[in-house]
A and B are shown apart, each in its own frame.
Chain A
Amino acid sequence: MSASNKTATAGITALLVVAIIIALNFLVGGVGFGNLRLDLTEDGLYTLSKGTKNIIGHISADEPVTIKFYATNDDRVMPNLLKPHARSIEDLLLEYEKQSGGNITLEVIHPNPDTDEEEKAKDDEIRGMQVNQQGDQIYLGLSVQCLDRKEVLPFLNPEDATAFEYDVSRAIAKVIKPKKTIIGLMSPMPVGGVPSMPFQQQRGPEAWAIIQQLKADYEVRDVSMTTDKVDSDITVLLIIHPATFTQKTQYAIDQYLLGGGHIIAFVDPHCLLAQALSSQPNPMTGQPGNMINTSSDMPELFKAWGLTYQKDMVVADMNYRGVFNGRPNPTALQIPAKSINQDERVTSGLQSFTLINAGSLGIEAKEGLNVATLVSSSEVSDLIDTEAAEKLRREPMVNFTPSGKKKILGVHITGKFKSAFPNGKPADPMPKAESGGAQQDASAPAAAGAAPAAPAAAKKDDGSLKESKTSESNVIVFTDADMLYDAFCLRQGDLGVGAITSGGNLPMVLNAVELFAGGGDLIQVRNRKAPVRPFTLFKEMRESVEEKYRPQLVKLEKERQDLAEKLSKARPQLDLKKGTLIVDQGTMNNIKEMETNSKKIDKQVREIRKEMNKEDEFTKTLIKIGNVFMVPLIVGVVGLILAMQRRVRTAAA
């Protein structure tokens, strides 16, 4: 073989290899044939969870599911941020298709500007996002269809990427299940929104996000606060701020629970929403709003469930204090993951909770019942009365002695419940005595015309249940109702595309409802850890620094307040009769001195804060310098030593 022939053969071989490589890349990347994935993340963030697999397993071959995934792929308009997101979604959807064994068909559609596909996306109710001034829109959403049932996810927010699998699995679970689960809703507040009447100009308040989210999956049925029977077709009863429960109502709830129902209740020693609603005029009538008692309780039921609760005491926690109305407030609790029960299915994987003016629960062992604490405060906490809590919204905490004990803020009770009304249905009318939340407030509706308290004399054997029919009933109790309000469980997305869930407040309720509604599969989908992993050591360091300086700061704060009080007294009062203001020199000097002292204190506080920040910064700087310069220095020195050795060796030779 001549040399040129050899070169030609080599050239052809090389070209062939290149062609094979391109074909292989096209097959795997472009067509997706044999596109294997290996998920290395600890929580399997990119792998279908067991719950999703179960849900996919429930799809019947007779009623297959079609997923239409709409993603604009025109580089001109698709933002950089969304491109990899769209691709990872498509990959995950391919996994769904693969897992289903033919029961799910995935259609990938690219609705680029001015194409027929764009029309398709619009027809399928996918939400376009305008990206430039020419009015071009991008689409990133999907629809899930099974027979005539359709679910649409109009926009898949990249900021909420961990929720994506849940959203899709939920949509699938929904389209393959024709009958809706019913959720009962009891609350004196308009949590479910007020439907607007055609003749009224103003719209009533919208439903809270939690109710809107529940309505997306379930039928939400209002249950009257004064009902004497809870329908047995209600799967889960959601009670938010039971400020006006009569014994009759508690009996109805009791019987509902014993009949196999599930209860999620939010009581509150000092409900800010109720307070705000009471002071607001009714948007419909313009009349002063309905008075709602700010504290709520379910005394008879709590007793039967082995719970104790003081309905006028609020938890203050210096470690877990959050910011409320722009200032740190120890009654605005920010509970971190370490005080959230990660072993309970309802709360596992949740990273934080926000509670405002929460109460504390005590647990008394009851035979047959199993009580698990879901959320608790830190040891640096104590109970304060509602008046003091109200004051904390305006002033900082001055005197605080931690009780050294964690306060229980939320529990999950399971087992065989016994009736809170062993003597049967309470007599009618039967408002309860002392312990009721509403009854102490003269303006509460249930208290109007209250009869004198009488013992719960009741008919014997009226057919009421004495204990749970099964041992599968569940009760969840939280001691804060405000935690469900939008302001405390949502935050605005950075992209400006709607609010996204923040913290565990809403996921906890959705988890619980799902779990109790018998699904159970979806809960395993949602409880995935957020991909953000914090610098835990910094937090601990910051806490210890704060602890070091806290006594000093508290002392200074007290001094400042004392001074402010003295100052306000010392300031000359205007003589109203004469309309003059006479100040003697002594008082003036006194005031001046106090003002100087006050400035001194301010300066000291600033200095301490500076010192605290300095300590933080010092550690960070050490870490930075160590990491950036240490290894290069070592490499440089080693290089120098070796070079010098070589030189010596060369010189010697």
Chain B
Amino acid sequence: MSNRDIQNTLAVFKREFLGYFNSPVFYVIVVIFLLAANGFTFFFSRILDYDDVSLATRFFVWHPWIYTVLAPAVGMRLWSEEHRLGTIELLMTMPVSPWQAILGKFFAAAGVWLIGLGLTLPIVITMSVLGDPDNGPVISGYVASYLYAMACLALTSAVSAFTRSQVVCFIISVSLCLFIALIGDPSLTHTVVNAMPSGLESIVRFICYFSFMDHFFEMTKGIFVLRDVLYFVSVIVVALLVTDFGLRSKRA
């Protein structure tokens, strides 16, 4: 990547990143995210009623479900909006390559998400005051949570490259994120396997490997395993490749 590439990517990043703060959607989404993440932890998981300050099973456990809805809400405007307004043509006439635009926009959304996630830190402070939590799992939990959010964002980015309607993009992305969260669930797998001809069983099992959940929960326990990090990074890279493909096909 040349210097110019980086500069262009940064320019797109800056424009997009600041754009979020001018939109009320950003504030609404962050507020919903914070209310959901902390509300679920304190009211549904009732973290204070169990004698355990660790966050893995009562705080991070909710994040995948929240991201399933909110990451598409943040990411749906990535490309659909440009398609709808026709600004995509304008963007592509600028001296910016599709990849610079894709990365710039993706990292801008990622940056916004970092702020949202960062705003949940008071819960860590609360737990440190009330007890003596192990910092390792907290750190790895946050990284896992962020990687999960990024993967959902990248999937949404891929979907939004193909459609000009934000609503369609949102609905498809939520379904996709939900699907990829659920596929590892044994009871679901069981039902599907039973309904399928036995020859297709191995294919179903192969698809199950793509579930986000297994990779996510391993990390919230306080351990980074290369395969889990690699998995999320792979999903992000592939989804961005698909985004690129989508944009090219649209243009063609």
Contact = CB atoms under 8 A, between A and B. Distances in A.
A627 B124 CA distance: 10
A102 B219 CA distance: 29
B130 A538 contact: yes
Interface in B223-246: 223-227, 230-231, 234, 237-238, 241, 244-245
Contacts of B82: none
A284 B6 CA distance: 87
Given A21-B238, A635-B34, A639-B27, A533 B123 contact: no
A34 interface: yes
Contacts of A45: 222
Interface in A204-257: none
B35 A628 contact: yes
Interface stretch (B49-57, B84-92, B155-163, B167-175): B49-57
A650 to B, nearest CB: 11
Given A25-B230, A78-B186, A84-B214, A38 B223 contact: yes
Nearest to A6: B248
Contacts of A3: 252
A36 B229 CA distance: 10
A624 B225 CA distance: 33
B52 A532 contact: yes
A132 B130 CA distance: 42
B79 to A, nearest CB: 17
By DSSP majority rule, is chain A's interface helix, strand, loop, or mixed?
helix
A623 interface: yes
B27 A636 contact: yes
Interface in A387-402: none
A627 B34 CA distance: 9
Contact of B222 (A25, A39, A75): A39
Interface string A513-538: 00000000000000000011111111
A267 to B, nearest CB: 33
B231 A40 contact: no
Given A534-B51, A534-B53, A7 B248 contact: yes
B74 to A, nearest CB: 15
| Interface size of B as a range | 35 or more
A18 B241 contact: yes
A80 B186 contact: yes
Interface stretch (B37-45, B64-72, B105-113): B37-45
Contacts of B95: none
B93 interface: no
Nearest to A39: B223
Interface in A625-653: 626-632, 635-636, 638-639, 642-643, 646
Contacts of A88: 218, 221, 223
A649 B245 CA distance: 41
A458 interface: no
A36 B226 contact: yes
Contacts of B193: 75-76
B54 A533 contact: yes
Given A76-B189, A627-B126, A636-B27, A37 B131 contact: no
Interface string B2-29: 0000000000000000000110101100
A75 B186 contact: yes
A7, A42, A79, A631 pick with most chain B CB within 10 angstroms: A631
A427 interface: no
A97 interface: no
B195 to A, nearest CB: 13
Nearest to A533: B53
Nearest to A643: B24
B75 interface: no
Interface in A413-437: none
A79 B34 contact: no
B218 A34 contact: no
A28 B226 contact: yes
A58 interface: no
Contacts of B136: 39-42
A39 to B, nearest CB: 5
Given A45-B222, A75-B189, A79-B186, A25 B234 contact: yes
A537 B130 CA distance: 5
A152 B30 CA distance: 52
B31 A636 contact: yes
20 contacts: A14-B241, A21-B238, A28-B226, A39-B136, A39-B222, A41-B136, A42-B135, A46-B223, A80-B186, A84-B218, A87-B214, A87-B218, A533-B54, A534-B131, A535-B130, A536-B132, A537-B129, A627-B38, A635-B34, A643-B24
Given A41-B136, A535-B53, A646-B22, 17 more contacts: A17-B241, A40-B139, A40-B222, A46-B221, A76-B190, A83-B186, A84-B218, A533-B54, A535-B51, A536-B130, A536-B131, A624-B43, A627-B38, A628-B42, A629-B35, A632-B30, A639-B27
Which 3 residue pairs are nearest across A and B when measured between Cβ atoms? A40-B136, A639-B27, A29-B227
